[in-house]
Structure 1
Amino acid sequence: MAEEEVLLFSTWASIYGRRVEMALKLKGIKYKYIEEDLTNKSPSLLKYNPVHKKIPVLVHNGKPVAESLVILEYIDETWKNHPILPKHPYERANTRFWAKFIDEKCWPAILKACWGEDQKEREKAAEELSKLLQFLENELKGKRFFGGETIGLLDIAANAIGYWLGVFEEAAGVSELLTREKFPKLFNWANEFVSVSAIKENLPPRDKHVAYMRKRFGMVNASK
């Protein structure tokens, strides 16, 4: 049987691309990584994702799959070892719900809390984010990971909180939004999550990432 060809088009600082790399690493899938310059997108990227023209794109034996959460499900359904989605239909649906919650609710709140147009908008977003994080705190229910004893799709999606949030706080110079005092379960989860080798190996270098975000968005609170 011929060896499968797996390509990943992404950029080093993409939260969505890093999700895909985490899933590939957890499952031990060999792949070729293609770094994209989003200011000068390659013909291959435009060919494989003509609708959105965005990364990440996974190409499996010539067939492209776009959108990070869709790619994660495709990976899980194609390579059965180390499942990242639960078996039970209800639990699978619940996982999809919370992953969407992170992308559609938490992520915009994180961006506004760190890089809102003014102090008032940032404070309002921080309050909103605190309420959203409480939902995730409750969802952990004393589990080691959202996926139970092993990392699952929801843990990978929640990397937005487990790693990216801390980088954004430092880069923007805002107060810590995820604290042990307010969210002990979520705080402990984040520390354990980023310590797992398959995750740790697929996180951007923190200093480089902070510098990149400062350059991209600028310091909104330089007085801190």
Structure 2
Amino acid sequence: MDIQIILTKAVESRQGNKPKFDEGHVLMTLLNISELQPVGRMLLMKKIGLSEASMKTLLKRLRELDLIQTDPIGGNTLTEKGQSLVFHLKNLFSIKNVVLKSLGWDSIMLVIKKGAEIVREVPILSLRDEIIRLGVEKVLICVYTKEEKIEIPPKTEEMSLKGLLEEIKENCSNCQPDDLILFLVPSDAHLAYSVLAYILKVLKEW
């Protein structure tokens, strides 16, 4: 079962009731369990920012998908299937807090591995609008080219943007050709993971 199918099943409406969590919360929960396991529900609630009822529902759905197991005393841990999924997921992206001094942005830098193809298939303004629709206030969309340069589509004016491009490049020590690089404001982890879920969905549809 791939990541997109799991995300869809985890957040589906049941009996006409839509859960009060989204794909971003699902990704955050799986990654937090991976880092903290065994981990209790109360700590996950604080980390993810969900109510107790919503977290109970989310954990139940992850158990139904055979991604986690819950010990009443020890807490939640990933199953073998869950570990495989998280390992695959971690190879798809990286995320860190970055201050872009050139723009005065306190942002999250989200890098989607081999995600640059999305800007060749989706009009850049449409992509930006969809990301904003998720709740992001500001977004800068960049591509790490095969020549190991930073491009800001649809057109990069290297002279006027030289300082910004150099600053982005400095933060791209682990970037690879054809990576998609997003800078998101506000610096909110849930928003970043919601954007990641959206990008993965679009890439999967091709």
Asked whether the two chains share a fold, i.e. TM above 0.5, the reply is: no
TM-score where L is the length of structure 1: 0.28
Higher relative contact order (CA 8 A, sep 6+): 2
Higher-strand-fraction structure: 2
Higher-helix-fraction structure: 1
